[in-house]
Amino acid sequence: MRVLSLELDQFRNYAALRFTPPSGACVFIGDNAQGKSNLLEALALLATGKSFRAAREADLIRDDAPAASVSARVATRHGEIQAACIVARAGEGARKRFFRNGRAVPYGQFLGGVMAVTFIPLDLQLVIGPAGLRRRLLNAGLAQTSRAYYRDLAAYGAVVTQKNALLRASGAPDRDLLLTYNEQMAISGGRIASARAVYVRKLASEATAAHARWVGASPEFDVAYRPSPALAEETPEAIEQALRAALEANQTLEIKRRSALYGPHRDDLALSLGGLPLARFGSQGQQRTAVLALKAAEYASLHAAAGEPPILLLDDVLSELDRERRHAFLSSLGDFDQAFITSTDVPDMPATLRGEVVRVRAGSLAIENAAHA
């Protein structure tokens, strides 16, 4: 998969950008705050429909402009597609609209057209950071490859928000309403957890293999799904039942704690090396290698699901890695069609990677030279 052209209008610090990216590696270099990450954010928006960093989507719109737009022509194995997203100010916030080949489409249908794997510095915390980061890893892969998953996740998230609001309101909560929420959580939650169980198995085998390629087969890196509540079975129906039972059994506890305590919004991954939890027992180097194995596995899974290499977006992560890890990681993704990489200096990359260096200065781009002859 490869971006043939990118257009930004009133997006972040780009007034109007028309850019024809090279195939292979496209390295954006420049000082801080020039707009390097903004470019990756725009590309990721076309893959996931979301910013990888903005809490407020109105922040994507340049200065006082009424709307921002991002549009790209992308070559895929199914032919060329055009994907676009318009973010318009609406009251205090913003409203997004999605387009495929010039036609407005719902978010759910927009997903899966452009596929990207995004690697940002926050991902370096995947082992030691909060469980939310690990759920984000699962959601990024699953939402791009399954519309049903995205729909379930959106529905589930909305119910959890409503349920928490009910539990936090003063006075005794309406039990019937609580039951209705629990029922909705059990249905969409069963499907989410089932999809995650299957995905984690694929991710785990890829991650274990990548890790073994880099540092040898022993000690083995293992990734296991830790669903909430713990599950014995993997079919959506069985999980739905288990979730329904857990929510019923813990109703009093949830009312007392005033919080939704069980369900996929509390899922986690167990990451271990030689059977020991990496977050507690791993050295910093071991934890970092595990993170790279997880990201390489995400890439391999999306690659397999799409039937072609996804676009790779690396925001300021290469400079965080030592030379050996950087080379091992990049070599393991060696077959990518296109990667967008940001860095303050030209990063040292394996000689086999073709590419171009593009300097970013205050929202404008200039091709510098070929990264490698």
Give the footprint of ligand ADP on this chain (CB under 6 A): 12-13, 30, 32-38, 59, 61-63, 342, 360
Which lies closer to Mg ion via its Cβ, residue 338 or residue 343?
343
∠ CA 362-89-84, nearest 5°, is: 70
The site partner of 35 among Mg ion, ligand ADP, none (C-beta below 5 to 8 Å per kind) is ligand ADP
Which lies closer to ligand ADP via its Cβ, residue 9 or residue 337?
9
Q: What is the 3-state secondary structure (H, E, C) of 40-67?
A: HHHHHHHHHCCCCCCCCHHHHECCCCCE
CA distance linking residue 302 with residue 72, whole number of Å:
20
State the residue for tokens 């050295």: 283
Q: How far is the CB of 32 from ligand ADP (least distance, A)?
A: 4
What is the DSSP secondary structure assignment for residue 263, as one 8-state letter? S
Contact by Cβ (8 Å): 217, 275: no
The backbone region for 169, taken as left when phi is positive above 0, alpha when psi lies in -120 to 50, beta otherwise, is beta
Which lies closer to ligand ADP via its Cβ, residue 37 or residue 332?
37
Q: How far is the CB of 30 from ligand ADP (least distance, A)?
A: 6
CA distance linking residue 190 with residue 233, whole number of Å:
11
The site partner of 177 among ligand ADP, Mg ion, none (C-beta below 5 to 8 Å per kind) is none
Which lies closer to Mg ion via its Cβ, residue 6 or residue 195?
6
The site partner of 32 among Mg ion, ligand ADP, none (C-beta below 5 to 8 Å per kind) is ligand ADP
The site partner of 16 among ligand ADP, Mg ion, none (C-beta below 5 to 8 Å per kind) is none
Which lies closer to ligand ADP via its Cβ, residue 43 or residue 115?
43
CA distance linking residue 373 with residue 370, whole number of Å:
6
Packed helices 175-215 and 147-168: angle between N→C axes, nearest 10 degrees: 130
Binding of residue 37 to Mg ion (CB under 5 A)? yes
Q: How far is the CB of 192 from ligand ADP (least distance, A)?
A: 32
Site for Mg ion in 243-302 (CB under 5 A): none
Which lies closer to Mg ion via its Cβ, residue 43 or residue 297?
43
- Within 8 A by CB and 6+ apart from 195, the residues are 142, 146, 148, 149, 152
Select the span of 37-45, 148-156, 162-170, 195-203 touching Mg ion (CB under 5 A): 37-45
Q: How far is the CB of 89 from ligand ADP (least distance, A)?
A: 11
Chain residues that interact with Mg ion, rule: CB under 5 A = 36-37
